[in-house]
Amino acid sequence: MKPIRAVITGTGRCVPEGVLTNADLQRLVSTTDAWIVERTGIHTRHIASSDETTSGLAAEAGRRAMAAANVSATDIGLLIVATVTPDERMPATATRVAHSLGLTCGAFDLGAACAGFVYALEVGRASLLAGTARHVLVIGAELLSRVVDYTDRDTCVLFGDGAGAVVLSAVETDTETGLSIGRFGTNGALAHLLHLEEAPESGGRPKVRMQGREVFRQAVVHLSEIIRQVVAEAGFEPESLDWVVPHQANKRLLEAVAKRADVPMSKLVINLDRCGNTSAASIPMALDEALRAGRIEPGQRVLFVALGAGLTWGASTYQA
């Protein structure tokens, strides 16, 4: 019998129609298009309307991924929704997504902030290898606009809304296709650098608070180190990586990471200019875009890498 590998057999994404431009933000806070573009690389982000929900975007992304993988509801043995902006604290957003997709398999939310999708991929891979499921639907979905403080120029320019999904399938093969090395870390001593303030002094709903400069510094160190680590453990040189699909935090930050990890910027899949930082949704959204555009080809080596609140971080290697 050939070994089982966890292979991405379909992807999908869904973003709200609403778009928030840098010019719009100039009307909300003291900022300029030039500052935002120079410091972050972001031009526009998608923003949900009041009747859109995290579960709604997640379900649509999931539906598209299932169609691409050509699997039906009864084929899916596990659903994981990575999110920090659930519809409600209880029940898990994944249960609503499951209902919308006609799934009755196990379904739960996973909270690892912007690193949530890479963590969820690893849980999905483990479930396939353990024989718990033949197909796992892994979704990253966020409505960050619901927790962003649009009076805080340090954070409001960065975040957007959206969802991305992949179907991970158990495939028996002698090849190296699919997910291989996954490595993860946390530093809870730095939880205060990026967190949701549940009862802001200014009143109203919970809001994101961030010490941007320090998050930037930590992110550059951990992201570049973990790229080097998984590449070394996978047994190949950084040069033989074809693509890195990173969490879409900030272009300047990714440039610093790429330099330290010895990966040319041309190998990074980037869509943050149009989507901003969508936390757990950003990697599957960028991946879906690159696959549908035919940029990532069969046989190519891909690396997923992310860091977020916690701090949490992780990376995994994948052969398309």
Ligand X SMILES: CC(C)(COP(=O)(O)OP(=O)(O)OC[C@H]1O[C@@H](n2cnc3c(N)ncnc32)[C@H](O)[C@@H]1OP(=O)(O)O)[C@@H](O)C(=O)NCCC(=O)NCCS
Minimum CB distance to ligand X smaller for 65 or for 307: 307
Binding ligand X by CB under 6 A: which of 21, 28, 33, 35? 35
Q: What is the x/- site pattern for ligand X, positions 164-193, by CB under 6 A?
A: ------------------------------
Binding ligand X by CB under 6 A: which of 136, 215, 231, 261? 215
Q: Which residues, numbered 301-320, are part of the site for ligand X (CB under 6 A)?
A: 308
Active-site residue, from 46, 135, 222, 247: 247
Minimum CB distance to ligand X smaller for 232 or for 265: 265
Tell me how far, at minimum, the Cβ of 12 lies from ligand X, in Å. 23
Contact 141, 54 (CB under 8 A): yes
Q: Which stretch binds ligand X (CB under 6 A): 3-11, 70-78, 174-182, 205-213?
A: 205-213
The answer to whether residue 247 is catalytic is: yes
Minimum CB distance to ligand X smaller for 130 or for 191: 191
The yes or no reply on residue 273 touching ligand X (CB under 6 A) is no
The residue whose two tokens read 């599957």 is: 284
3-state SS record for the chain: CCCEEEEEEEEEEECCCCEEEHHHHHHHCCCCHHHHHHHHCCCEEECCCCCCCHHHHHHHHHHHHHHHHCCCHHHEEEEEEECCCCCCCCCCHHHHHHHHHCCCCEEEEECCHHHHHHHHHHHHHHHHHHCCCCEEEEEEEEEHHHCCCCCCHHHHCCECEEEEEEEEEEEECCCCCEEEEEEEEECHHHHHHEEEECCCCCCCCCEEEECHHHHHHHHHHHHHHHHHHHHHHHCCCHHHCCEEEECCCCHHHHHHHHHHHCCCHHHECCCHHHHCECHHHHHHHHHHHHHHCCCCCCCCEEEEEEEECCCEEEEEEEEC
Q: Which residues, numbered 242-261, are part of the site for ligand X (CB under 6 A)?
A: 249-250, 253
Minimum CB distance to ligand X smaller for 279 or for 319: 279
The answer to whether residue 14 is catalytic is: no
The answer to whether residue 275 is catalytic is: no
Binding ligand X by CB under 6 A: which of 28, 105, 216, 292? 216
Number of residues that bind ligand X (CB under 6 A): 19
Minimum CB distance to ligand X smaller for 145 or for 277: 277
Q: Which residues, numbered 104-123, are part of the site for ligand X (CB under 6 A)?
A: 114
Q: Which residues bind ligand X (CB under 6 A)?
A: 31, 35-36, 39-40, 114, 153-154, 157, 210, 212-213, 215-216, 249-250, 253, 277, 308
